[in-house]
Structure 1
Amino acid sequence: MKERTCCFTGHREIPEESLMKIKQRLEEQVVRLIQQGVIYYGAGGALGFDTLAAQTILALKNAYPQVKLILVLPCQNQSERWNRADRAIYEGILVQADKVVYISEHYYKGCMHKRNRHLVDCSDYCICYLNRLSGGTYYTVHYAREKGLKIINCAEQLG
């Protein structure tokens, strides 16, 4: 199953001027992987790129009903401090996901790190939005490279 699985990781902040290109690149890359037999897509449920990736998978399910969205969430109360609009989007994604995995019932220091490692450990591909060499996304992509995943960085294709 790992060879048919792709995870997502990316920054929470996406520049408005890049958003449409990133959406387009993301969809193109996912469709390409689906055509190669990759049908399981794991997202971490965070704001920004994770949300965009989950929305992309859900939108593609109409054309590709075999595709499955798996949310791997750090804790059950992840969205409790988010604003109302972001929580509404999150809840909409949550109810449409094919599977939801919680790393922990409650937040603890390190649960997001553990979520990211779980996503990578269960995947053969990683589609990311990485444009800086620090932070959680950088760490996760570095870990994915160490584990031999095929990395597709939507930020590198913005030129």
Structure 2
Amino acid sequence: MGSKESCCFTGHRILPAGELPALRAALRREISNLAEAGVGRFLAGGARGFDMLAAQEVLWLREERYALELVLVLPCPEQADRWNARERQAYREMVQEADEVIYVSEVYTPDCMFRRNRKLVEESGSCICYLNRERGGTAYTVKYAEKLGLSIVNLAVPRPNSAAQEKTLFI
């Protein structure tokens, strides 16, 4: 298991638009609670949606109140190349403001996302997630975190028919 002073984030790229204010508040509360308990290093994978939202909250809390470190564990340098201009700009700003950027691969490979997710968990003692589906990268990452004994907080409320209520999150 990774450091007890580190926490990783994992979550879906698509989030319910109506939940964003409450999700931001919940992230801020959980990050603050961990900071008060001595966690100072937060790791995010840089993906659209929950990853970027969580990273932005770490940066906001770092600016406002706590001595926090944001570490981006990214799959490859071209992660955001196919995103729209607004998303790429938000991504560049996040990378510039991070305290450390780690690439698990120099170029895109079929397993670079998988390796990124494992590294996030292996470097951490706790995990804040947004998980409301049983399959996919987020589900795998949370299961891996459970297997390694990380403390996990899930900020999602599972809902039937949630796909119909979701919308792409642009941060």
Answer yes or no: same fold by TM over 0.5: yes
Structure with the greater relative contact order (CA < 8 A, sep ≥ 6): 1 or 2?
Answer: 2
SS of 2:110's partner is coil
Identity across matched positions, percent: 46
Cα RMSD after superposing both structures: 1.4
C-alpha separation between the residues in 1 aligned to 2:106 and 2:141? Answer: 22
User: By how many angstroms is 1:64 displaced?
Assistant: 3.3
C-alpha separation between the residues in 1 aligned to 2:106 and 2:77? Answer: 5
User: By how many angstroms is 1:156 displaced?
Assistant: 3.8
Aligned length: 158
User: By how many angstroms is 1:105 displaced?
Assistant: 1.0
C-alpha separation between the residues in 2 aligned to 1:138 and 1:124? Answer: 18
C-alpha separation between the residues in 1 aligned to 2:148 and 2:24? Answer: 26
Q: Give the gaps of 5 or more residues in structure 2.
A: 160-171
SS of 1:155's partner is coil
C-alpha separation between the residues in 1 aligned to 2:69 and 2:4? Answer: 14
TM-score, normalization by structure 2: 0.89
Aligned residue number for residue 142 of structure 1:
143
TM-score, normalization by structure 1: 0.96
SS of 1:124's partner is strand
User: By how many angstroms is 1:66 displaced?
Assistant: 1.7
Report the residue type matching 2:50 in the other structure: F
C-alpha separation between the residues in 2 aligned to 1:131 and 1:17? Answer: 15
User: By how many angstroms is 1:65 displaced?
Assistant: 4.3
C-alpha separation between the residues in 2 aligned to 1:157 and 1:26? Answer: 17
Aligned residue number for residue 61 of structure 2:
60
SS of 1:76's partner is coil
Report the residue type matching 1:151 in the other structure: I
User: By how many angstroms is 1:18 displaced?
Assistant: 1.0
User: By how many angstroms is 1:19 displaced?
Assistant: 1.0
Extract structure 1 runs of 4+ deviating beyond 4 A. none
Contact 1:25/1:157 (<8 A) preserved: no
User: By how many angstroms is 1:143 displaced?
Assistant: 0.4
